[in-house]
Structure 1
Amino acid sequence: MPRFVVVLPLVPLTEGDEFTVADWPLHVTLVEPFQADVAGEEVAGILAGVEGIGSGGSPVRATAGDEAMFGRRGDVPVTLVHDAGELAALRGRAMRGLAAAGIDVRARLDFRPHVTRKHHGALVPGDRVVLDTVALIDMRPAEGAHHRRVVAAWRLNA
Structure 2
Amino acid sequence: MQYSQKYSLVGFLEHQPKGFEYNMSDWPLHMTFADVFAIDRNSTDIDEKMENVLRSQHAVLVKPKHQAKLGDTTVILVEKTDELVELHTMVVDLLEQNGAIFNTPAFTREGFLPHCTIQKSGMLQKDVVIDELALVDMFPNSDWRQRKILATFKLGG
TM-score class normalised by the smaller sequence: 0.7 to 0.9
Q: Which runs of 5+ in 2 are unaligned?
A: none
Quickly say closer, same or farther: Cα 1:40–1:16, change in 2 above 3 A: farther
Offset from partner CA, 1:28-84 (integer Å, 9 cap, x none): 10001011234499332232232xx1x1222111211011001xxx22000011153
Measured in 2, the distance between the counterparts of 1:90 and 1:101 equals 17
Measured in 1, the distance between the counterparts of 2:43 and 2:57 equals 21
Instruction: Report whether the alignment pairs 1:57 with 2:57.
Output: yes
Instruction: Report whether the alignment pairs 1:134 with 2:133.
Output: yes
Q: Secondary structure at the match of 2:45?
A: helix
| Aligned residue among 15, 19, 41 for 2:18 | 15
CA RMSD of aligned residues (A): 2.0
Measured in 1, the distance between the counterparts of 2:81 and 2:111 equals 18
Give the corresponding residue for 2:84.
87
Q: Secondary structure at the match of 1:22?
A: helix
- Count of residue pairs the alignment pairs up: 150
What fraction of aligned residue pairs are identical, expressed as a percent?
29
Letter of the 2:122 counterpart? G
Q: Secondary structure at the match of 1:142?
A: helix
Runs of 4+ displaced beyond 6 Å: none
Are the equivalent residues in 2 in contact too, given 1:15–1:152 (CA < 8 A)?
yes
Q: Which runs of 5+ in 1 are unaligned?
A: none
Letter of the 2:148 counterpart? R
Offset from partner CA, 1:105-152 (integer Å, 9 cap, x none): 43524221000001111023xx11111110000001006111111110
Are the equivalent residues in 1 in contact too, given 2:51–2:154 (CA < 8 A)?
no
